[in-house]
Structures are given as structure tokens and as C-alpha cells.
Amino acid sequence: MDDELELLITAVVAAEGADQARAACRGLRARVGGRVVETADCSDEDPGCWSVTISVRPGERAGSTAAAALTRSIRSFLRSLDPGFATSRVACEPPTAWTVVDDPDLVAPLVPGGERLLVEAWTGARWLPAGGDFAAGGARPGRTNHTDHTVYSDHVDDTGDAHDSDDWSEPEPVDDGSGPRLRLWVDVVAEREAGAEWQARAVASRITREARLTGVARHTTAIRVGFDLGRVDGDPGQVVATAVATLGGTGWTPPERTERAVVAGWRTPSPPPSGISAVELAADATAPVPR
């Protein structure tokens, strides 16, 4: 099992475009000895802002105490930036730990125009589970023009029973296009819902940066996190196949067409002590009802 640590440092910076955002982070990248793996327009959430993610391999391994190693790697990194960062609270849910520094006065000297920093530590295959059938598929893709809303509530959980719709939010459908709506469910073995949601969002972000959280439900062996990934053009089967290819890895079930959706899934051979245990993708098999 690959227990090498990786740090991901995401800076949110006021910029007029991707080139300006990367230029603002050039000094930080040189200082930490990392490489840029993603630049994304986040102006929908923060007008006039871009995010730049830098990957750093500190050359450390988690060993038998993953939680301690993950937390320690973030704290050591923060201290190396400036003593003022050391007061940031670090949350940990192996295989990841994270903190957000939301203090422009601290961030701006490192990144001109910087608003805040997100620092993540991961073990194994980055955003995907180490030791499972998934394989790391490289850097996260950039933004896509997806929108939001609505989710099925009748998918099957890890016990084989239909999911109770009371556990899930059901936003009102919005006629935002004619293409199929893509949905994602991620099962995460974790103690806290926040940790499960964090890991599930990392998977969703490989497909789109505009995933909408639709529900979190605790089951016997895992916490299930659901997302609406928006409408996309194309046949539902091809939409699911493309999303599977984007996530990468082996062990996926072939896309299967049901009455309502085209579905594909992935599951670990045995439940891990922590981390992602299953992923399910679905695209509507029917067009939205016109208003």
C-alpha cells in the first residue's frame, strides 16, 4: 500500500484570468517546491477569483499512525510558511487531513491578491482510495459548464435495500437544458460526516468543480454522500462512460440502462478501515419534462 504523503495547496486569488492567477502563485510554488496541477475559475462563488492548486511531495510516509502523520505534515507546512499560520485548526479523517486559512493579511504576502489557502494532506492515490481497484488518474480536470439540482432517492445502498428518501434532500427540478443529468454517490468509511463529505467532494471534483451536494446518510458500514453534477450533452450511456473514464481505474461495472437511468458502479473487494469504499454514477435515461 502506497502511504506516501502528498500535500495539495489551493490558493484563492483575485485575478482577471488563469495566467494572472498562476503568476500570483509563482512565488509560493517556488517556495514550496511544488507543481501546479489545476487552475480553476471560481468566480461563481467568489466574483473575480481564481483558484490555483499546487502539489507537493514532502517525502514522508504515513506509517502505522496515519492520522498523526497527516496532521503533523500540515502543521509543519504551515509553520514553514509563517508562524501566524500555526494557529489554524486542522481537521483529520484518514486518508486525508485539511485546514483553511481564511486570512488575507496572512495569505497576501505569499500570494499577491490572495484571499485564502486550503491545505490538504493525502495518503495513497490522492483523491482515490489506496490499495483498491481505482488507479490515480492524474490531476483533477478543470471546470465544466455544469449546473445543479435534483437527485434520485431510490438507489440501492450497501445492504441491498432501497435508500430511505428522508435521508436525502430533493431540490425542485429546474429546466436547465435538454441533456441527461449526471449524479454521483460516494460511500466513505469515516467516523464523521464532515470527513466523508470532504473525501466525496474530492472525487466529484475530478468530473466538475460545480458539484451540488444533495444528501449525506450514515449506513452500517459507510457514510453515503450524494451529488448532482448537472446536465451534460450526449446519450446517457456515453455520459456515464465518459465520467467513468474521467475517474479512471478498473473494476467498474459496465453502464447498465434501467427504466429511469444508466448506472455504473465501483466497489472495493472488502471494506477498508477508512476511505472510499464504493462509487456510483447515474445519468437520466429520460429527458426533463418541459414546463
Q: Which residues contact 227 (CB under 8 A, 6 or more apart)?
A: 151, 183, 184, 185, 186, 200, 201, 204, 211, 212, 213, 214
135 touches 128 (CB < 8 A): yes
What pLDDT sits at residue 171?
38
Pairing verdict, β 114-123 and 5-14: antiparallel
Phi and psi, residue 259, nearest 5° = -65, -35
What pLDDT sits at residue 124?
57
What pLDDT sits at residue 48?
87
What pLDDT sits at residue 177?
58
**Type of residue numbered 40:** A
Q: Which three cell numbers stand for residue 280?
A: 456510483
Q: Which three cell numbers stand for residue 272?
A: 477498508
Cα-based distances in Å from 256 to 52, 122, 238, 247, 251: 37, 33, 11, 18, 15
Buried (b) or exposed (e) across 22-53, using 16+ Cβ within 10 A? Answer: bebbeebbeebebeeebbbbbeeeeeebbbbb
Which pLDDT tens digit goes with each residue over 135-153? 222 222 222 222 222 222 2
What pLDDT sits at residue 151?
27
Distance, C-alpha 219 to centroid of its chain: 21
What pLDDT sits at residue 2?
57
pTM beyond 0.75: the answer is no
130 touches 274 (CB < 8 A): no
Q: Which residues contact 123 (CB under 8 A, 6 or more apart)?
A: 2, 3, 4, 5, 6, 62, 66, 69, 70, 94, 95, 96, 130
Q: Which three cell numbers stand for residue 85?
A: 499560520
Per-residue pLDDT of the chain (291 residues; tens, 9 = 90+): 457 888 999 999 999 999 999 999 999 999 999 999 888 887 776 788 898 999 998 888 877 678 899 999 999 999 999 988 988 889 887 778 888 898 999 999 999 999 999 998 887 544 443 323 332 222 222 222 222 222 222 333 333 332 333 333 333 334 455 689 999 999 998 888 877 887 888 888 778 867 888 999 998 889 999 999 999 888 999 999 999 988 877 889 999 998 889 999 999 888 778 788 999 999 987 654 433
Q: What is the mean pLDDT of the chain?
A: 77
